[in-house]
Structure 1
Amino acid sequence: MAKKNDLTVEEKLRALYDLQLVDSRIDEIRNVRGELPLEVQDLEDEVAGLNKRLQKLDGDIEVINNDIKNKKNLIDESKTTIKKYSEQQKNVRNNREFNALTKEVEYQELEIELAEKHIKEYKAQIEQKKQVIEQTKDRLKDRQAHLDHKKGELDAILAETEKEEQALIDRSEQYETEIDARLVKAYKRIRSNVKNGLAIVPVERGASGGSYFTIPPQVIMEIAGRKKIITDEHSGRILVDEDLAKEEKEKMDQLFQSM
């Protein structure tokens, strides 16, 4: 190809249309993937969240078990204290000492009763958390299976298209360097403003590709003359004649098949 500043209008149109065909092919590959990458990411985030939840629940149960252990130790200590005070009651010298020891025994018995009540509550909390753990594990199993399936789909598509996509990206970048920067900028601006990413379209049956607006015969003749770059007044797309589009498509189809 000649230097980009020395290109004729026709050469510029052909180069731009080649770039469009390459970028459209990249779009097709990415459309095949569709929402899969986002679905996989969402599922990975959900699985990570469920695993984190399980870790927290396990940690909560560990804390509660420690609380139960502490309460059991407190009960053992209270029982030892009661036994001690009961022995001391046998050797008291007056009622005041006996009553004081009796109050201490009653206090320790209340401590035991309260500790046993707490242990019962703690065990109920553990059972509740175990139910949540089982539910979370079931959910995790389901989400992990779904994730594995979606990742398998995505990996299969990537295996088929990744090499071609990268080759096309490299080719697109190469084409951009061979085209005037102003034209590339205009092409990208138009491409970003249209739904299907088609910035350059051929004239088909008297209208621009994908449009129902008729182009005046004089303009169609100018487009076929390939002497200046003409845009569609309705969509802003750059227009090329049908023959040029057909020639470049045949050429690029051969390129795509070789990738």
Structure 2
Amino acid sequence: MAKVADFSVEEKLTSLVRLQKVDSKLDEIQILKGELPIEVKDLEDEIEGLHARQTRVEEEINGIQEFINQRKEAIKEAEALVKKYEKQSDNVKNNREFEAINKEIEMQTLEIKLCEKHIKDATEEIGDKARALEAAKKAVATKENNLAGKKGELEKIIAETEKEEKQYNKQAEEARGHVDERLLLSYDRIRKNYRNGLAVVAVERDSCGGCFHAIPPQKQSEIKLRKKVMVCENCGRILVDDDLNNAVEVK
């Protein structure tokens, strides 16, 4: 295969025109896909976030339930102690022992009430968490349905354009192989600067095919000679003559 340096300016310009036309075809395919790839990625990220939130809420509910179980066990222990102290109160020998036992009974009774309050508050919190969990599950289901629809649309477009896209990518690679790196860097930079992606344009009706700036006759003559790369002084796009542009066909 010939080296890039072996190609004439005209051959390089021809390859640039071919590359531009192929890239424009690839741009059309991307336009056909529209925002679908971004929408699919965004939905996947949202679903991942919702799953993480769902897991976090489930863990919080489990933690609260464990706390409730601990408080219930504490109530059982306190009730057992109350019964124990009540039994002991039947055998007290003096007021001091009686008062001490009564104090213990009061403390355990307060502990029971406190635990019951904790259980009540925690049960209400579980209710709030359960509603949040249900909302997260519904959100996940909705997003997953949307994702399935978007993926279906995207997969259909990809299936319809895959062969075409591969062919154009191969042609683009071949065209790039005929252009030196410095010129390719300029081409890619210019393409990024314009929404329509046009970096190489033909001179049409004495004007730049990109910005419609008038091209002087002398410059048009030089462009037609194809001896050097010429650019539009107004927009910076690479200019070629109309005959060269029309001679290059992309299938």
TM-score w.r.t. structure 2 length?
0.92
CA deviation after TM superposition for structure 1 residue 102, in Å: 1.1
Q: In structure 2, do the counterparts of structure 1 residues 223 and 138 end up closer, same or farther at CA, with 3 Å as the change threshold?
A: same
Partner SS for 2:177: helix
Amino acid at match of 1:213: H
> Which residue number in structure 1 is paired with residue 186 of structure 2?
186
Amino acid at match of 2:15: A
Q: 1:126 to 1:182 in 2, by over 3 A?
A: closer
Could you say which residue in structure 2 is the equivalent of 1:201?
A: 201
1:54-105: CA deviation from partner (whole Å, max 9, x where unpaired): 1111111111111111111111111111111111111111121111111111
Identify the residue that residue 106 of structure 1 maps to in structure 2.
Answer: 106
Deviation at 1:194, TM superposition (A): 3.0
Distance 2:216 2:107 in 1: 104
Distance 2:91 2:161 in 1: 93
1:28-107 aligned at under 5 Å gives the runs 28-107=28-107
* Structure 2 Cα separation of the partners of residues 180 and 117 of structure 1: 79
Q: Do the aligned partners of residues 181 and 104 (structure 1) sit closer, same or farther apart at CA in structure 2, a change above 3 Å counting?
A: closer
Q: Per-residue displacement from partner, 1:85-137 (whole Å, max 9, x unpaired)?
A: 11111111112111111111111111111111111111111111111112222
Distance 2:180 2:75 in 1: 87
Contact kept, 8 Å, 2:47 with 2:143, in 1: the verdict is: yes
Contact 2:81 2:108 in 1 (8 A): yes
**Preserved contact between residue 78 and residue 112 of structure 2 (Cα < 8 Å):** yes
Counterpart AA for 1:178:
H
Greater mean alpha carbon deviation, residues 187-196 or residues 204-213: 187-196
Matched residue type, 1:192: K
Distance 1:10 1:82, change over 3 A: same
1:151 Cα deviation from its structure 2 partner:
1.4
**Cα deviation, residue 3, structure 1:** 5.2
Distance 1:108 1:4 in 2: 92
Runs of 5+ consecutive residues of structure 2 not aligned to the other structure: none
One-letter amino acid of the counterpart of residue 63, structure 1:
G
CA drift at 1:210: 3.1
- Alignment pair present for 1:218 and 2:218: yes
CA RMSD of aligned residues (A): 1.9
CA offsets per residue over residues 216-256 of structure 1, 9 Å max, x none?
233223323334332211111121121221121xx31xx3x
TM-score normalised by length of structure 1 = 0.89
Consecutive unaligned residues of structure 1, counting only runs of 5 or more, are none
For 1:157, the aligned partner's letter is I
Alpha-carbon shift at residue 12 of structure 1 (Å):
2.4
Runs of 4+ in 1 over 4 A off after TM superposition: none
Count, aligned residues: 251
Further displaced range: 109-118 or 23-32:
23-32
For 2:59 and 2:3, the matched residues in 1 are separated by 68
Corresponding residue SS for 2:203: strand
Superposed CA deviations along residues 13-44 of structure 1, whole A, max 9, x for unmatched, are 21211111112212221222222212111111
Query: Amino acid of the residue matched to residue 166 of structure 2?
Result: Q
Mapping 1:99-138, distance limit 5 Å: 99-138=99-138
Inter-partner Cα distance in structure 2 for 1:2 and 1:217: 35
Once residues 204 and 156 of structure 1 are traced to their aligned partners in structure 2, the CA distance between those partners, rounded to angstroms, is: 38
In structure 2, what is the equivalent of residue 160 of structure 1? 160
Partners of 1:96 and 1:18 lie apart in 2 by 106
Distance in 2 between the 1:125 and 1:3 partners? 73
Shift of 1:11: 2.3
